[in-house]
Chains A and B, each alone.
Chain A
Amino acid sequence: MDISLKNVEKTFMQTKVEVAALRGVDLEIPSGEFVVVLGPSGSGKSTLLNVMGGLDSVSAGEISIGGKDIASRSEKGLLAFRRDNLGFIFQQYYLLSTLTVAENVETGAYGAKDAHSPLEALRMVLLEEHADKYPFELSGGEQQRVAIARALVKKPKILFCDEPTGSLDEKTGKEVLKLLANIHADLRTTIVLVTHNKAIASIADRVVTLTSGEIVADHQNDKRVSPDEIHWH
């Protein structure tokens, strides 16, 4: 499923002042690509991800995924579209504390027509043996992997990741990135990952740089490296 953004703008009202978070973003992401969106804090990365994934509306411009218009869809239509096609992970893991790991994964599969079993999804993130534990019994990196399993359980075609390693140390962060790289390699899932961490950019097919809501650079990454080889800052 290709993603296509045309002249997308997004403004927020901040105590009576308009703030432009995205200023005319044009972006094409072909199916199966691993894209990293790089930019400093406040540059509009999260906003970009949110509007792309239909989590937030745009102020102007067009967004389509798989040729289908996103911006003009109803909330209900968007919900169904996200359910069938999109997965999300965020900097925080946001797991339900009263459910076990496997149960948390299962929550992501609601209404999916063709889903993995929670254990299959956990196997993909190498956490099968922790299935019956509760989130608080896991480390931060492990919890993030549960969140990834929860996003993957319904076999999404696109995975959106907002600073997935932002709360992790180098070692566990790399594990998470390795997982994402493997998933991309094995399942050909389109991955859009936003981060302020330049080191991470080197694992992607393509790097898009965002500054003050505008794309200032967009190039293919010829020297793709494995997550093991990158250096954290």
Chain B
Amino acid sequence: MRSTGIRIHFLHAWRFMKKRWLSFLLLGVLLFASGFVYTTMAESIAAIRDASEAYFEETNQEDFSIEVSDRLTASEKEHVRDVCGLQTTETLSALSSADSSCHEDILSSRKETLIQVFTGVSLEARLFMDIPLFRDDGNHRMRILNDADSINKSHIEEGNKPLSSGEIAILGNYARANDIALEDEFVVQGETFIVTGFVLFPDYNLPVFDHPFLFDSTKQTLALMSDEDFAMFDAPKRAYFAGVLEEVSASELEGMFDQAAFLTAPFLENLTLTENNMRSGAIYAEIEGGHAFALIVAAFIALLGLLIIVLSLLKTLRANSRPFGVLKALGVPDNALIFPFLALIGIFALLFLLLGFLAGQFAAHPMQDIFRDFYLLPEGKIRFRVVTLVIALALPLTLLLGLSFVVMKRLLGKRPVALIHPALTEWAKGGLKRFRIGSWRLSFLVRMQIAFIKRRPGKFAVFVVGLFGALFAGFFSFGMHDMLERTLPEYYGGTGIEVKAYTEDITFDEPAEGEKVLELSVRVNETNASLVALSEGQTLHPLKDSRGRDLTGSLAEGLVISRGFSDLSGLREGDTVEVTLAGDNLEMEITGVADIYAGSHVFATREVVAEWLFTDPSAYNVVYLSESPEVDYALLVFTDDIVEQLRDTHEIFNVFFRVLVASALFIALVVVYLLTVMLVEDHYYPLAMFKVLGYDNSIIRKILLGGYVKAALLCFVVGIPVALLAFAFTRRWMAEMYEFMVPLAITPVQVLIYFALFLATLFLGTMSAKRKIDKMSLKDALAIYQE
């Protein structure tokens, strides 16, 4: 009459999907996420990479930067005194306001000295001024840079370069955040400028004011003026040297730096290779690693989805193995049974992957903006890339279909009889015989629990590793939570400082109010540090160690370093160190470690430092105040502004961390759930045997789950010290790689919360396993052992 096709088998596969809609929904969500994550990352990174390469080329980005001391060296002071006739000038920035040609003299002599020390490079001095902006919504900050000739040239994104007096270019991000358009007026220190363009600079160690890598473009901006305005602008100019490698390699350069470069160039402070700079180095790392990272995350998510579907398939196939066996007996080939499943799963997966891909194309724009905001880069074009499409779609799809095919083929590829009458011997394989293990001194239950673990050592390893991975993601997200709160906010919160008032130069007159402080960039042994020298007997800036003990006494006896600096430098209490500034050395003992994570701070007594450097114990350059000062200072920094600024940027990070915690827990949940489900599937037949033997459900549950739950709890307990070790390792590693502190920490309360969440997840997982065990009917169990 007619030949019947595959329609009915499609119908069967379709009903299978409908019945397991929850699994498929989860698969869909995971595949969507996988396609989305990969596409977003890949597209935004590709756009940034293309744009950045051209940008770095065009602006001639520095290969390294050389930080130099603002304080003049002894011979420079002599020159300033004798040639320029300035008696009291102590710093380069003060000199820039006092006598610009003398300032240029010193800079060019420093440059010459540097070129002698570092042969085979070209250098250009980079000048910059930090200016507070008083705007309606609070205090903003601006860093005005000179227009470089050859290294780190400015890049105008939009509009025109300011060429004549009264023109200015600012950051596009800042302009957008503050509703500033081209041609608008912009007031800087009482002078009115016209915004002619939006500018970018490729030197990445500059655009950071108070935090090693956070830049809040809503309140901070870089700026470019005409050369004339820049020279005339009344503010102290600080300087560093930007360099390009000509005939030497980066490692040779580092070698030159290490070989007593300080002897020839006492003003030398630090050499930073662009690739090792937290901000710029991270760009390269991001570009190189971001892709791989996205791929791994996407693959991991896709793999979870895969696991779900394979488990679902396994279950369905096992439930249907006998009917399928009969169909095979009747002459229906495997492929007619398998193909509809594959086709429907494939269409379904493709749909969600495609949705993820499309959503990722859109999300790549804001993602790129986040990168751009962070790294201050020009905008690249997000365009449809076939490679991304292929990787985002084809990879997970091939994996999914390939694995599903293999699983189904292996299960259905057997002879019909093997499907219809699965032999007892086969099911029991690798199981029942080995049940007589363990010492008789252990109770029956414990022996059985061990037996179940030993029965599938590979799967148990997967269980432990999977659990550990999930646990770890959680520990890390908890550790990162509120991480930034632990830096500056905690630091300033622990002091009574409201305002830091900076003088233009080192000052010796008694200030009208507040505590005198010397803030200086020094080197402690090999590591750069911010030295905060506090007056004896001051109370505004307390110092405490991690146990809350007062360190004022230790301060009088030597150097107190912050926990952050200790991590960065590897220095500990009791070490004797050499503190260096502009060629002068002072040997000091570290007498305490203060519980401070913000930056690389070290503390000493101001009187001691002042006497050492300026031969006058009254010297200071900052006044710490508990309220706004009455008199004028060169620069006022409000700690509330800094903290608020950090918190603003923080907000995104906090959201990010929360998403991280949530997704880590979600993944942990999925993993634990899958693992427990897998347990029952794995041990189905021995469990059935227990049923046949007449064991109570509750005993069977204890036998199977007991051992695994114990192992899971053990994982958590072991996970705590391992996580703490990993935190310490990460801190060290980040400190070494990027000279950047990651104050990962977890409080006992967080551990408790996490433990509760973990228990809940485990409980949910075991609940579903319990349900499965209970649902396993005695009839099915008997059927297995009947034949």
Chain B residues within an 8 Å CB radius of A115? 1-4
The answer to whether A112 touches B325 (Cβ under 8 A) is no
Contact A88 B8, beta carbon cutoff 8 Å: no
Taken together as a complex, chains A and B put the C-alpha atoms of A112 and B4 apart, in Å, by 6
Q: Which residue of B lies closest to A156 (CB)?
A: B330
In the complex, whether A31 has a CB less than 8 A from a CB of chain B is no
Q: Does A106 contact B (CB under 8 A)?
A: yes
Which A residues between 73 and 112 are near B, CB-CB below 8 angstroms?
75-76, 79-84, 86-88, 90, 92, 94-96, 98-99, 103, 106-112
Q: Is the CB of B415 within 8 A of A110?
A: no
By a CB distance below 8 angstroms, the chain A residues around B325 are 94
Q: Which of chain A's residues have a CB closer than 8 A to the CB of B330? A: 82-83, 86-88, 108, 110, 150-151, 154
Select A98's contact among B3, B6, B16, B333, beta carbons within 8 Å. B16
- Taken residue by residue from 32 to 53, chain A's Cβ proximity to chain B (1 for < 8 Å, 0 otherwise) reads as 0000000000000010001001
Interface majority SS on B: helix, strand, loop or mixed?
Answer: helix
Please tell me if B135 contacts chain A, counting CB pairs below 8 Å: no
Contact A109 B329 (CB under 8 A): no
CB of A69, distance to nearest CB on chain B (Å): 18
Q: What distance in Å separates the Cβ of B65 from its nearest Cβ neighbour in chain A?
A: 69
Chain B residues near A222: list those with CB within 8 A: none
Name B406-428 residues within 8 Å CB distance of A: 415-417, 420-421, 425
Interface string of B127-139 (1 = CB under 8 A from A): 0000000000000
Contacts A90-B420, A98-B19 given; indicate if A82 touches B4 (C-beta within 8 A): no
Nearest-neighbour CB distance to chain A for B139, whole angstroms, equals: 68
Kindly list chain A residues whose C-beta atoms are within 8 Å of the C-beta of B320: 96
Is B9 in contact with A55, judged by CB distance below 8 angstroms? no
For B9, list chain A residues within 8 Å (CB): 107, 110
B327 adjacent to chain A (CB < 8 Å): yes
- Residues of B within 8 Å of A117, CB to CB, are 1-2
Closest chain-A Cβ to B327's Cβ sits at a distance in Å of 6
Bound-state CA distance A53–B330 (Å) is: 10
Q: How many residues of A contact B (CB 8 A)?
A: 44
In the complex, what residue of chain A is closest to B325 when comparing beta carbons?
A: A94
Q: Which of B243-300 contact A (CB under 8 A)?
A: none
Q: Chain B 693-710 against A: per-residue CB contact (8 Å), 1 yes, 0 no?
A: 000000000000000000
Q: Is the CB of B16 within 8 A of A79?
A: no
Also in contact, A110 and B331, with CB within 8 A (given A55-B415, A94-B420, A99-B11): yes
Please state if A107 and B322 are interface contacts (CB–CB under 8 Å).
no
Cβ of B315 to closest chain A Cβ, rounded Å = 13
Q: Are A95 and B332 in contact (CB under 8 A)?
A: no
Most buried by A among B6, B320, B323, B333: B323
> Cβ of A110 and Cβ of B1 under 8 Å apart?
no
Contact between chains at A103 and B331 (CB < 8 Å): no
A15 surroundings in chain B (CB, below 8 A): 425
- Tell me how far the C-beta of B421 lies from the nearest C-beta in chain A, rounded to whole angstroms: 8
B516 within 8 A of A: no
Whether the Cβ atoms of B4 and A111 lie closer than 8 Å is: yes
User: Which one of B6, B11, B15 lies within 8 Å of A110 (CB-CB)?
Assistant: B6
A86's partner among B4, B331, B421 (CB-CB below 8 A) is: B331
Interchain CA distance A164-B710 in the complex, whole Å: 48
The answer on a CB contact under 8 Å between A111 and B8 is no
B331 near A80 with CB under 8 A, answer yes
Q: For the complex, is A229 an interface residue (Cβ under 8 Å from B)?
A: no
B67 to chain A, nearest CB (A): 72
In the bound complex, CA of A81 to CA of B328 (Å): 11
Kindly count the residue-residue contacts between A and B in the assembled complex, taking CB atoms under 8 Å apart.
Answer: 107
The reply to whether B8 and A83 form a contact with Cβ atoms under 8 Å apart is no
In chain B between 313 and 338, which residues have their CB closer than 8 angstroms to a CB of chain A? Answer: 320, 322-323, 325-333, 336
Tell me, yes or no, whether A170 is within 8 Å of chain B by CB.
no
Inter-subunit contact A114/B1 (CB<8 Å): yes
Q: Is the Cβ of B12 less than 8 Å from the Cβ of A96?
A: yes
B15 close to A94 (CB less than 8 A): no
Task: Indicate if B457 sits at the interface (CB-CB under 8 A).
Answer: no
Q: Which residues of A contact B16 (CB under 8 A)?
A: 98
Contact A88 B329 (CB under 8 A): yes
B1-30 CB contacts (< 8 Å) to partner A: 1-6, 8-9, 11-12, 15-16, 19
Nearest opposing residue in chain B for A53, CB measure: B329
Nearest CB on B from A105, distance (A): 9
Mask for B563-580, Cβ within 8 A of A = 1, else 0? 000000000000000000
Bound form: Cα–Cα A186–B2 in Å: 21
Contact A111–B425 (Cβ < 8 Å): no
Complex CA–CA separation, A106 to B1 (angstroms): 13
A107 contacts B2, CB within 8 Å? no
Evaluate contact between B1 and A108: CB separation under 8 angstroms.
no
* A111 CB, nearest partner CB in chain B, Å: 7
Are A50's CB and B331's CB within 8 A? no
**Given A99-B12, A99-B15 in contact, is the A110-B327 Cβ separation under 8 Å?**
yes
| B-side interface residues, number (CB < 8 Å) | 32
Residues of A within 8 A of B12 (CB): 96, 98-99, 103, 107
**In the complex, A90→B327 CA distance in Å?**
12
**B contact residues around A76 at 8 Å (CB):** 333
- A107 engages B327 (CB within 8 Å): yes
CA distance A57 to B420 in the complex (A): 15
Does A116 contact B1, Cβ atoms closer than 8 Å? yes
Bound-state CA distance A188–B258 (Å) is: 101
CA distance A56 to B12 in the complex (A): 27
Q: Are A94 and B8 in touch, CB under 8 angstroms? A: no
A94 contacts B326, C-beta separation under 8 Å? yes
Within 8 A of A (CB), among B332-359: 332-333, 336
Are B4 and A110 closer than 8 Å at their CB atoms? Answer: yes
Q: In the complex, what distance in Å separates the CA atom of A46 from the CA atom of B787?
A: 11
Does A113 lie at the interface of the complex (its beta carbon under 8 Å from any beta carbon of B)? yes
Residues of A within 8 A of B417 (CB): 50, 55-56
Contacts of A106 in B (CB 8 A): 4, 8
Q: How far is the CA of A15 from the CA of B513 in the complex (A)?
A: 95
Say how far B3's CB is from chain A's closest CB, in angstroms.
Answer: 6
- When chains A and B are docked, how far (Å) is the Cα of A116 from the Cα of B331? 16
Q: Please report the C-alpha to C-alpha distance between residue A117 and residue B8 in the assembled complex, in whole angstroms.
A: 13
Residues of A near B8 (CB, < 8 A) are 99, 103, 106-107, 110
CB B563 to nearest CB in A, in angstroms, measures 63
From A87, A110, A116, B332 is in contact (CB under 8 Å) with: A110
**Residue of B whose beta carbon sits closest to that of A82:** B331
Residues of B within 8 A of A108 (CB): 327, 330, 332
CA distance A116 to B415 in the complex (A): 27
Chain B nearest CB, measured from A161 CB (Å): 12
> Least Cβ distance of A202 to chain B in Å?
28
Q: List A contacts of B2 (CB < 8 A).
A: 114-115, 117
Name the residue of chain B whose CB is nearest to the CB of A75.
B415
Which residues of chain B have C-beta atoms less than 8 A from A83's C-beta? 330-332
| Most chain B beta-carbon contacts within 10 A, residue among A84, A112, A151 | A112
Measured between alpha carbons, how far is A112 from B1 in the docked complex, in Å?
10
How many Å lie between the Cα of A103 and that of B416 in the bound state?
21
In the assembled complex, the Cα of A113 lies from the Cα of B416 at a distance in Å of 22
Complex-state Cα separation, A56 to B320, whole angstroms: 20
* B19 to A, closest residue via Cβ: A98
A178 to B420, CA, bound (A): 26
Which chain B residue shows the least CB distance to A83?
B331
Q: Are B328 and A79 in contact (CB under 8 A)?
A: yes
What residues of A have a CB within 8 angstroms of the CB of B328 in the complex? Answer: 79
Residue in B8, B19, B329 with the greatest tally of chain A CB atoms within 10 Å: B329
A111 contacts which of B3, B323, B415 (Cβ < 8 Å)? B3
- Please list the residues of chain A having a beta carbon within 8 angstroms of any beta carbon in chain B: 14-15, 46, 50, 53, 55-57, 75-76, 79-84, 86-88, 90, 92, 94-96, 98-99, 103, 106-117, 120, 147, 150-151, 154
With A57-B415, A120-B1 given, name 16 new contacts (CB 8 A).
Answer: A46-B421, A53-B329, A56-B415, A75-B415, A86-B329, A88-B330, A94-B322, A94-B420, A96-B320, A98-B15, A99-B12, A107-B9, A109-B4, A110-B6, A110-B330, A114-B2
The 4 closest A-B pairs by CB, nearest first: A83-B331, A109-B4, A98-B15, A82-B331
11 pairs of residues in contact across A and B, judged by CB atoms under 8 Å: A76-B333, A82-B331, A87-B330, A88-B326, A90-B420, A99-B11, A108-B330, A110-B6, A114-B2, A114-B3, A154-B331
